[in-house]
Amino acid sequence: MILRQTSTSSILERLTPEAQHLLLLGEECTLDIPQLIQECNQQGITIAGGIFPGVIHGEEHFTDGVIIKQLPANSSIQLCQDLATMDKNDLQLANAGTHSSIVLIDGLSKHITGFLENLFVSYWDSLKFIGGGCGSLSLKQQPCVFTNEGFFEDAAVVILQERRVNLGVRHGWQKIAGPFVVNASGGNTVHEIDWRSAFEVYREVIRAHNNVTIDQDDFFNVAKGYPFGIFREGMEDIVRDPIITDGKSLTCVGDVPNNVVINILEGKPIKLIRGAGMAAHEALSAGADDVLVIDCISRSLFLENQFPEELNSIQQVINTHNLPIPLEGVLSLGEISSYGDGYLEFFNKTIVVGAFHNHE
């Protein structure tokens, strides 16, 4: 369910104390979150949610509006604050019947990798994760996740659920150059590539490939079409999206480990749209009682007018399987998924399709 015209009361009308609710807000939504939390607390309504650059409903996406999704009974909502210092012992133990988890995290936090490690250490591969980075496209860090406990930045919400989820994870970006060695990096900033200035190498590659000159001021408009890909054997690279440069280094959404081998990727709309369809197919082939799409905001920015085609490719899969469920999701700052059965990763420029099953 999506509400475009939002107020606290209109939201509250659709929430009940008996259920637990996931609220996904577009960043231009004018809803007063603290007031909502206060009202919910007063009415005994359980909520959890995040603010994203956009929300998806059907084949449309909005920067305002609220997606309201009802969580299964017995879901557990855990707020994780102060990501810098938390460790695996701060996380709740998963019940034997827990099978999946939705994770909403401040997409501009510097501690995403460590947080995901803690999740993986705590829950192994017993859970399948789907989630994304909250925040504003302005890339200014501000409160973006909330529960009944409050409205926070540099925090995460972990929702443990008994329902199973099938995941489809794809991005569709193609290698145009590489491999390169990130010989100097720190956190999410790449300082040197192949022992030279990261920006210099990046600019040369882009110019050589497409005869496009990239400069510091107009960096994002060009870079959104040429992300990095961290090599993974037998799978799609993990995409890292360079978004800012100081003329020497490149800052990405998500960590780029030191000495990692990267490729420079290129986006072709058709490939991306096809990738989204493949992700939906992987997730929904066994049907679903609910679907949640975590689609990277940069994909919509890159695809621009063609972005509805990506959503359409997913919707078509839903339709193909005659699933009576709405396509809902968010445009995120980074995506979370346990890729296949393996290690929990933080992706960029990727689409994650989660197909939830209420029963075995």
Residues that bind other proteins (CB under 8 A): 88, 117, 120-125, 179, 181, 230-235, 238, 257-261, 339-343, 345
CB of 26 to other proteins, least distance (A): 32
Spatial neighbors of 42 by CB under 8 A, at least 6 apart, are none
CB of 265 to other proteins, least distance (A): 14
Q: At 296, is the secondary structure helix, strand, or coil? A: strand
CB of 232 to other proteins, least distance (A): 5
DSSP-derived letter for residue 93 is P
CB of 259 to other proteins, least distance (A): 4
Helical spans, DSSP H, in the chain: 8-13, 33-43, 112-123, 198-210, 219-223, 269-284, 297-303, 307-320
By beta-carbon proximity to other proteins, the closer residue of 249 and 337 is: 337
165 touches 227 (CB < 8 A) = no
The burial class, CB within 10 Å (0-12 / 13-18 / 19+), for 76 is middle
The Cα 66–Cα 345 span in angstroms is: 27
Q: Quote the Cα angle for 164-165-169, to 5°.
A: 160
81 touches 164 (CB < 8 A) = no
By beta-carbon proximity to other proteins, the closer residue of 93 and 212 is: 93
The Cα 4–Cα 171 span in angstroms is: 29
By beta-carbon proximity to other proteins, the closer residue of 65 and 227 is: 227
225 touches 301 (CB < 8 A) = no
By beta-carbon proximity to other proteins, the closer residue of 234 and 324 is: 234
The burial class, CB within 10 Å (0-12 / 13-18 / 19+), for 135 is buried
By beta-carbon proximity to other proteins, the closer residue of 126 and 319 is: 126
The Cα 106–Cα 55 span in angstroms is: 16
Beta bridge partners of 68: 23
298 φ, ψ (degrees, to nearest 5): -70, -25
CB of 92 to other proteins, least distance (A): 16
By beta-carbon proximity to other proteins, the closer residue of 24 and 238 is: 238
CB of 160 to other proteins, least distance (A): 16
CB of 17 to other proteins, least distance (A): 36
CB of 241 to other proteins, least distance (A): 18
